[in-house]
Amino acid sequence: MFAHLDALLLGNYVRRKALQVAALVRAGVLYSGLDWARLARPSDVRPHIHDVLLVFVACHAEAADAARGSLSRILAELLRLAAVALTGAYREVDTFSDAGALQATLETEFLHQTLGAHETRAAREQFALAYAAIERGAAAARAANGVAGGSGAEDAGARDEQQQQQQREAVKDILRRAREAGALQYACFRGGTPAAGGGDGGGEGVAGGGAAEERHDEGVA
């Protein structure tokens, strides 16, 4: 009975935090005024991602005081739900320019890597859906733009590829600098142990899936 009540309390707590995270994600992705389809160049990680991480910081502090034994499960499930919110928001974006796709990947990657110590298999699978939603939007933009014709098409394509490669390298550098800048602020997330059990993503209570096995550096490669 007490275990059931504990699971209910933890579940309610995580749901309240997840609502905060979802509201921040939707505001940043859908209502910030950023035109994903026309973004010409990726920039820094935007404030809403840091606001989401601050929800995790507060959650870490509260759970460490009141429910330390459940801390890893709480963070793992909240991370999965953050990825769910990102996936849903990105699916509402019709198209991403190449730079827009890189910006979205950068922000998702920063959140993903910062909280990676608490990733479960279920969260990893959900992040894969978020990255897929970004790529879908980028592919839709490329399809809408069609294939350039005319005598300068090949030169234009080469210039575009060179520009995209430069932007990818720039995004890698932005991500590295953002991780370094946030190393102290988000130090509480390092060295965590992903929630045990539920390796198939089923889990019980607020537990997610199995331990994370890999990061997604290829997202900005």
Asked if 76 and 120 count as a contact pair (C-beta separation under 8 A), the reply is yes
The single-letter code of the amino acid at 137 is G
Overall size of the chain counted in residues: 221
Tokens, residue 51:
């606001």
* pLDDT per position as a tens digit, 144-201: 887 444 444 455 556 677 888 889 999 999 999 999 999 999 999 986 556 554 444 4
pTM of the full structure:
0.81
Give the pLDDT confidence score for residue 163 in this predicted structure.
80
Scored b (16 or more CB within 10 A) or e, 154-165 reads eeeeeeeeeeee
Q: Which residues pair with 211 in a beta bridge?
A: 120
* pLDDT per position as a tens digit, 61-95: 998 887 777 899 999 999 999 999 999 999 999 99
* pLDDT per position as a tens digit, 116-146: 999 999 999 999 999 999 999 999 998 988 7
Q: Which residues pair with 120 in a beta bridge?
A: 211
- Residue position matching structure tokens 């959650």: 59
Which segments of 149-217 are extended strands (E)?
Answer: none
Better-predicted residue by pLDDT, 11 or 17 = 17
Coil, helix or strand for 136? helix
Better-predicted residue by pLDDT, 14 or 199 = 14
